[in-house]
Amino acid sequence: VPRMSETDVPCGPSVSGEKYRNLRNFKEHCHPPDDLEVEASKLRLQLKLRSKLTLAQPLEILQETFEGQPEEVVARVGRLDSIKRDIRKQRQRLERSEFYDPLEFCVPELYSINRMHVM
Task: Say what the pLDDT of residue 1 is.
Answer: 45
- Whether residue 25 contacts residue 14, with contact meaning beta carbons closer than 8 Å, is answered with yes
Single out the residue of 37, 39, 81, 35 nearest to residue 62, CA to CA.
Answer: 81
* pLDDT (average), residues 77-106: 78
Beta strands in the chain (DSSP E): 15-16, 24-25
pLDDT at 17 over 60: no
Q: Is the pLDDT of residue 105 over 50?
A: yes
More confident of the two residues 108 and 31? 31
